[in-house]
Amino acid sequence: MAVGLREPEKLAPVPGVRLASTAAGIRYQGRDDLVLMAFDAGTRMAGVFTRNAFCAAPVLVAREHLGQGAPRFWLINSGNANAGTGEQGLSDARRCCALVADKAGLAAEAVLPFSTGVIGEPLDVAAFERAVPELCAGLSADGWLRAARAIMTTDTLPKGASRRVALSSGEVTLTGIAKGAGMIRPDMATMLAFVATDARIEQAPLQGLLQAAVDGSFNRITVDGDTSTNDACMLAATGASGVGLTDAEDEARFAEVLNDLLRELAQAIVRDGEGATKFVTVEVVEAADRDEALRVAYTVAHSPLVKTALFASDPNWGRILAAVGRSGIENLAVDRVRILLDEVLIVRDGGRAPEYREADGQRVMDREAFTIRIELGRGQASERIWTCDLSHDYVRINAEYRT
């Protein structure tokens, strides 16, 4: 059961974008698993991709096509990652792009492929051959929510959000969808995110806006510490509204709304983490620099002992203390470190705070969402990440993933 997360009731259409979804039978039966997103001519696109050395064939092809011209389509499948598939995987990804491009009378470089699912299995290209004509015929501006469901794998709910932002020359729309529940620690998990706006933005500033937004959202979440071979986050600006970013104030306002939308999608992935029962913010302050703050935060968030204590609602604060101590911070003055669970101070002066009572810690741990705050007493830098617990269901889901 997702932690404090509901299925979006409606996602706003973005002028210049049409979508279609279908049940192609790539792996799942009786549910949509293939999506086509079509964009008007003149659309600008930006992308951020996995840093995993074994990046999937569709990632390689999408990067290649993105750099070669003006893409017009995103083709997304769930159920098969087309990763670890060598030259055949690359050939299959390119063939799937060509299927769409041929129907549209465009070059294959006009299509960017994306895949998520089981690693190491060949892609069923015949399923794409059967489904692509239906997708091309069924494109609709209102297809966002159906697409959000189609890209799911172990997700329990579709994830999507929309925003409207007023700029100096008019309003623009942003809508995005995402999937991911396990293998989540993006480095830009099987995490995919697709966002579009009708604002008019050139490619270079669009890429900068996306990278900054990803750094504060998808690059600040972790479910299990595993970075996928297939991570991708895409942003398209169709320009259909005719509204551009005319000054620094417009750019700042648009960036604020984009960052907020991506944070919502990223946090939705953590809230729907495989088997998750807790949504936990790990906040590190008074660090010497940002890298140090992140090192401490991820050490705590990735500790199996901390994560299982979270699942048990057990205020076993010694596990948090130990994780901070092994995070690799040189010359850490432990007597300056303070650790809190929400409003409850549990550690100061090198050990348990004298005023701390187990009942106070238990009250916080019983909540489905709370913050672990770590004050290092070393400087002015701070960072925040979002994570979840490690439950029996996480083990079951991943043990049974291919069966």
Q: What is the pairing mode between strands 232-237 and 192-197?
A: parallel
Give the integer Cα–Cα distance in Å for 218 and 51: 13
Residue 200: strand, helix, or coil: strand
Instruction: Using the Cα atoms of residue 47, residue 52, residue 56 and residue 61 in order, give the sign of their dihedral.
Output: positive
| Helix/strand/coil for 115 | strand
Q: DSSP character for 151?
A: T
Residue 112's SS3 state is strand
Cα angle at 192 between 402 and 122, to 5 degrees? 40
> What is the bridge-based pairing of β-strands 369-375 and 338-341?
antiparallel
CA atoms within 13 A on the CB side of 351: 1
First and final C-alpha spacing in the chain: 21
The SS3 of residue 235 is: strand
* Nearest in space to 91 (alpha carbons), one of 61, 52, 119, 53: 61
The tokens for 174 are: 């942003």
Which residues touch 81 (CB under 8 Å, ≥6 apart)?
Answer: 56, 115, 116, 117, 118, 119, 121, 190, 228, 229, 230
Q: By the 8 A CB rule, do 371 and 280 touch?
A: yes
Q: 114: helix, coil or strand?
A: strand
- Can you read off the two tokens belonging to residue 225? 């510490």
* φ and ψ of 18, to 5 deg: -130, 150
Looking at the annotation, which residues are catalytic? 190
Of 195, 316, 357, which Cα lies nearest the Cα of 260? 195
Cα 75 from Cα 19, distance rounded (Å): 10
- Burial of residue 233, with CB atoms counted within 10 A of its CB: 0-12 exposed, 13-18 middle, 19 or more buried: buried
Grouping H, G, I as helix, E, B as strand and the rest as coil, residue 10 is: coil
